[in-house]
């Protein structure tokens, strides 16, 4: 009991120390943004037309970083495919499907895909974007893979979708570099902030990221289910 009490006192003292250090550098309630961060917040809507400043930072101001992130995801999925190549999963280890599972999966999957599309198409207006929208779409395909006995997903379709989305992402970035002197620079009209048709290239970028992430995640799930077997 005494030992637990001492641990609690040490934890309390350590928490107070961390709070004091953080408070010294970032006073609560005060605007401490400086430099690039202050520019993003002050000029994000004016520059790009997206009312979701996080989206503006991720897709345009730091769009090159996002390209690196989707590349890391692509390499991870490729490595997974090579690791599982030749492995086969015994179908008997999967649970028997019931009528409720099959019917529920068949009708829920399109709705989940629609939700994913909504998320990445409204990324410049609300919290969301290409990554969560793409993961939603991959979840819908996972539902189909595990609940539909006869459902087959051809790998070539995923590969073509992923390649097209990645290539168009780079092309849009290069067009911005040509016209605005910045990779992924916004070369379109920003429109009226708050409307679906606004924010210049941001909706286009999130659309491409959604397709790229969705196809890559779906390929990873397919490989995990089928053990790298080619179909």
Backbone angles phi, psi at 90, to 5 degrees: -70, 125
**Residue bearing tokens 């001492």:** 6
* Cβ atoms < 10 Å from Cβ of 221: 19
Question: Is 200 buried (19+), middle (13-18) or exposed (0-12) by CB count in 10 A?
Answer: buried
DSSP string, 2-33: HHHHHHHHHHHHHHHHHHHHHHHHS-TTS---
Q: Are 129 and 206 in contact (CB under 8 A)?
A: yes
Q: Cα separation of 201 and 130, whole Å?
A: 13
What are the residues whose beta carbons fall under 8 Å from the beta carbon of 139, sequence distance 6 or more? 112, 116
What are the residues whose beta carbons fall under 8 Å from the beta carbon of 117, sequence distance 6 or more? 133, 137, 210
Question: Is 198 buried (19+), middle (13-18) or exposed (0-12) by CB count in 10 A?
Answer: buried
User: Taken in order 186, 188, 191, 194, is the CA torsion positive or negative?
Assistant: negative
Inter-axis angle of helices 130-147 and 202-226, nearest 10: 30
Q: What is the DSSP letter of 194?
A: T
Q: Cα separation of 109 and 43, whole Å?
A: 40
Q: What is the pLDDT of residue 160?
A: 93
Q: In this structure, what token pair is assigned to residue 56?
A: 């503006």
**pLDDT tens-place values along the chain, 231 residues long:** 778 888 888 999 989 888 888 877 777 667 677 788 888 888 888 888 888 888 888 888 888 888 888 888 888 888 888 887 766 656 555 667 788 888 999 999 999 999 999 998 888 888 878 889 999 999 999 999 888 888 888 888 988 998 999 999 999 999 988 998 888 888 888 888 888 888 889 999 999 999 999 999 998 888 887 765 554
């Amino acid at each position: 009991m005494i030992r637990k009490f001492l641990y609690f006192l040490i934890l309390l003292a350590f928490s107070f120390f961390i709070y004091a250090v953080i408070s010294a550098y970032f006073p609560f309630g005060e605007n401490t943004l400086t430099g690039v961060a202050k520019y993003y917040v002050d000029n994000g809507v004016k520059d790009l037309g997206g009312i979701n400043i996080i989206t503006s930072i991720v897709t345009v101001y730091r769009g090159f970083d996002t390209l690196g992130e989707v590349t890391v995801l692509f390499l991870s999925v490729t490595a997974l495919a090579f690791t599982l190549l030749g492995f086969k999963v015994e179908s008997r280890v999967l649970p028997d499907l019931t009528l409720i599972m099959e019917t529920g999966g068949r009708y829920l999957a399109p709705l989940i895909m629609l939700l994913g599309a909504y998320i990445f198409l409204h990324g410049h207006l609300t919290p969301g974007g290409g990554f969560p929208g793409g993961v939603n779409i991959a979840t819908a395909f996972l539902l189909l893979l595990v609940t539909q006995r006869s459902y087959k997903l051809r790998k070539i379709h995923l590969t073509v979708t992923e390649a097209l989305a990645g290539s168009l992402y780079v092309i849009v970035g290069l067009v911005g570099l040509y016209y605005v002197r910045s990779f992924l620079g916004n070369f379109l009209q920003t429109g009226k902030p708050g409307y679906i048709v606004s924010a210049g290239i941001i909706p286009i970028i999130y659309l491409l990221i959604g397709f790229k992430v969705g196809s890559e995640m779906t390929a990873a799930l397919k490989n995990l289910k089928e053990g790298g077997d080619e179909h």
